[in-house]
């Protein structure tokens, strides 16, 4: 029993370290960068002209991946924490639940955009159900904004933790978007309840 636990922990650590090492070698600020690369390869939403909003951007791995592909579009990153400068990425510090921040986001783009990505996660409290619920609320907030700011062929990609709020997220996604796909990137730890929801094509209600 003890031996099994040790080997499971060793495998988890090894898996974690592989992506951690790669992120350091390739100069990415987070392991999460690999999740966005993998999901872009699968769903193909990053192009040179893309206008993209990155919600919950700190430390900046997803923005770095976006900035490598988006050379002519605008990238706005938003987080409650400060973020070190990334070339070709503008940053707005603030809480997505603050209406002033929402207004600043609309003003920054001044038009409908192509992609909203959200890797927002609530601070961990030690209570996994509560954490997954709070992260689910962040996903719903991001989806609400995406529905308003995306053009009709736009895409929304968001982190979700499987838990009680997932039913509501799935329902809202299917009401708002034509295509809804749930996906677990290889670089996301197997033992984690984290998955991503990729939605595209606005449904006009
Ligand atoms: C997992 S990290 C994002 C990692 C990032 N995608 C990367 O690749 O570097 C989640 C982020 O969500 C942010 N966040 C949580 N609640 C937020 C809120 N209400 N408004 C804006 N950002 C929020 C946190 O501050 C945190 O930096």
Instruction: Identify whether 159 is a catalytic site residue.
Output: yes
Q: Give the largest CA-CA distance in the chain.
A: 59
Whether the CB-CB separation of 84 and 124 falls below 8 Å is answered with no
Cβ 114 vs Cβ 73: under 8 Å: yes
User: What are the backbone dihedrals phi and psi of residue 157, each rounded to the nearest 5 degrees, phi first?
Assistant: -125, 130
Q: Which of 23, 79, 188 is the best mutation target for the ligand 1 pocket, counting ligand atoms within 8 Å of the beta carbon and taking the most?
A: 79
23 token code pair: 């992120």
Query: Is the CB–ligand 1 distance for residue 118 below 6 Å?
Result: no
Q: Give start and end residues of each alpha helix (H) in 60-177.
A: 61-69, 99-109, 128-149, 166-176
Cβ 5 under 6 angstroms from ligand 1: no
Average pLDDT of the residues of the chain:
91
pLDDT tens per residue across span 19-57: 677 766 688 999 899 999 999 999 999 999 999 999 999
- Taking the model in full, what pTM does it have? 0.91
> Domain 30-202 class?
alpha beta
The Å distance, Cα 181 to ligand 1 centre, comes to: 22
- What six digits make up the tokens of 70? 């988006």
Dihedral sign, Cα of residue 79, residue 84, residue 85, residue 87: negative
Ligand 1 site, residue 62, Cβ cutoff 6 A: yes
* Annotated active-site residue in 24, 35, 159, 172: 159
68 or 20: which carries more pLDDT confidence?
Answer: 68
| Average pLDDT of span 160-178 | 94
Task: Give the residue among 199, 131, 198 at the shortest CA–CA distance from 165.
Answer: 131
CA distance 44 to 126: 36
Q: What are the structural domain ranges in the chain?
A: 30-202
113, 128 contact by CB (below 8 A):
no
The three-state secondary structure class of 179 is: strand
Q: Which of 20-24, 38-42, 83-87, 157-161 has the lowest mean pLDDT?
A: 20-24
| CA-to-CA separations, 65 to 32, 41, 87, 137, in angstroms, rounded | 10, 12, 11, 25
Rounded Cα–Cα distance for residues 76 and 51 (Å): 8
> In the structure, what pLDDT confidence band is assigned to residue 1 with cuts at 50, 70 and 90?
very low
Q: What is d(CA 59, CA 150) in angstroms, rounded to the nearest whole number?
A: 25
pLDDT at 17 exceeding the cut of 80: no
């Amino acid at each position: 029993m003890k031996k099994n636990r040790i080997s499971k922990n060793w495998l988890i650590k090894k898996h974690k370290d592989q992506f951690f090492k790669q992120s350091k070698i390739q100069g990415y600020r987070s392991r999460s960068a690999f999740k966005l690369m993998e999901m872009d390869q699968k769903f193909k939403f990053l192009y040179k002209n893309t206008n993209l909003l990155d919600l919950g951007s700190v430390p900046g791995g997803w923005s770095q991946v976006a900035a490598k592909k988006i050379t002519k579009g605008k990238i706005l990153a938003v987080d409650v924490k400060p973020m070190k400068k990334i070339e070709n990425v503008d940053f707005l510090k603030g809480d997505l639940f603050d209406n002033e921040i929402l207004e600043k986001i609309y003003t920054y783009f001044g038009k409908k955009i192509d992609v909203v990505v959200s890797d927002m996660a609530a601070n961990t409290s030690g209570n996994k159900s509560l954490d997954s619920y709070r992260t689910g609320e962040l996903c719903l907030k991001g989806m609400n904004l995406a529905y308003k700011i995306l053009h009709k062929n736009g895409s929304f990609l968001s982190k979700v933790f499987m838990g009680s709020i997932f039913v509501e997220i799935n329902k809202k996604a299917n009401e708002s978007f034509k295509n809804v796909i749930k996906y677990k990137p290889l670089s996301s730890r197997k033992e984690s309840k984290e998955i991503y929801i990729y939605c595209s094509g606005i449904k006009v209600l």
